[in-house]
Amino acid sequence: MNYHWNWAIFRELSPDGVHTYMDTLLAGLWWTLASALAAWAMALLLGVAVGAARTLPGALPRRLASAYVELFRNIPLLVQMFLWFFVLPELLPRSAGDWLKSLPDAPFFTAVTCLGFFTSARVAVQVAAGIEALSRGQKLAATALGLTLPQTYRFVLLPLGLRIVLPPLTSEFLNIIKNSSVALTIGLMELTASARAVQEFSFQVFEAFTAATLIYVLVNLVVVALMRQIERRAALPGRV
């Protein structure tokens, strides 16, 4: 086979004349982490709220929460990306739409919004499962102590439920890092897009993709190691 390997390519200057190809990849990594972390914060807030709503006594909040989850789970992420980026600005009043389109870093904000909503639906399912896994006695005891429903959630059900679902939440966080690569379709220069750029300008396909793969694996390992520490400290004593 006649593929010419050239691992020194990462030290060569990229077409901007200032940065090396390595810098291109690192900038991509920065955008990947920034969008994943921002979207994760959003997904956690929304997901905990919607997940709690799925366990409320009333039928209406349950049904609304289910509709929310089904909406974001049954449309491919790529299509959701397009809806936020291409469709939303057209549906808003003209001035608001134009403002959205002219935002600097519009792909970044769109990607965060899209990934945040997309992941929040998955977080909500896990959070609801965590709360439902608690014994009914917890809620009954809280009521017997005179806690109101919001207090019961705030002080009893959510702290316990979230500690149970920490492991599945870790894998959702790993997913959000991977899913941020879909944002390259709306022009976010995250890690995969950067690897593509290196490949297009330098023609060193396999070096560029190998480097990106290694970086993803490394990020994965670091996140897993960190989360195992947190999981170990937060694990509920007495549960398997």
Partner 1 sequence: MFADFDFDVIARSWVYLFRVGMLFTLKLTVLAMTGGIVLGTLLALMRLSGLKGVALVAAGYVNLVRSVPLVLVIFWFYFLVPYLAAWVIGAAEPVKVGPFWSALVTFTLFEAAYYCEIMRGGIASVPRGQVWAAQALGMNYWQSMRHIVLPQAFRNMVPVLLTQTIVLFQDVSLVYVLSIPDFVGAASKVAQRDGRLVEMYLFVALVYFVLCLALSRLVQHLQRRFAVA
Q: Which residues lie near partner 1 (CB under 8 A)? A: 1-3, 70-71, 73-80, 82-83, 86-87, 90-93, 174, 177-182, 184-185, 192, 195-196, 199, 205-206, 209, 212-213, 216-217, 220-221
Kindly state the smallest distance separating residue 232's Cβ from partner 1, in Å: 21
- State which residue, 127 or 182, has the beta carbon closest to partner 1: 182
Kindly state the smallest distance separating residue 177's Cβ from partner 1, in Å: 8
- State which residue, 160 or 174, has the beta carbon closest to partner 1: 174
Kindly state the smallest distance separating residue 226's Cβ from partner 1, in Å: 15
Kindly state the smallest distance separating residue 183's Cβ from partner 1, in Å: 9
Alpha-carbon distance 22 to 5, whole Å?
16
Kindly state the smallest distance separating residue 206's Cβ from partner 1, in Å: 7
- State which residue, 82 or 109, has the beta carbon closest to partner 1: 82
Q: Which of 185, 159, 79, 175 is nearest to 120 (CA)?
A: 175
Kindly state the smallest distance separating residue 1's Cβ from partner 1, in Å: 6
Alpha-carbon distance 101 to 68, whole Å?
26
List helix spans (H) across 153-204.
Answer: 158-164, 166-179, 191-202
Contacts of 85 (CB under 8 A, 6+ apart): 106, 107, 110, 114, 186
- The phi and psi torsions of 13 (rounded to 5 degrees) equal -75, 140
- State which residue, 125 or 156, has the beta carbon closest to partner 1: 125
| Secondary structure of residue 16 in the 3-state scheme | coil
- State which residue, 125 or 157, has the beta carbon closest to partner 1: 125
Phi-psi map region of 147: left, alpha, beta (phi>0 left; psi -120 to 50 alpha):
beta
Write the DSSP symbol of residue 236: P
- State which residue, 7 or 86, has the beta carbon closest to partner 1: 86
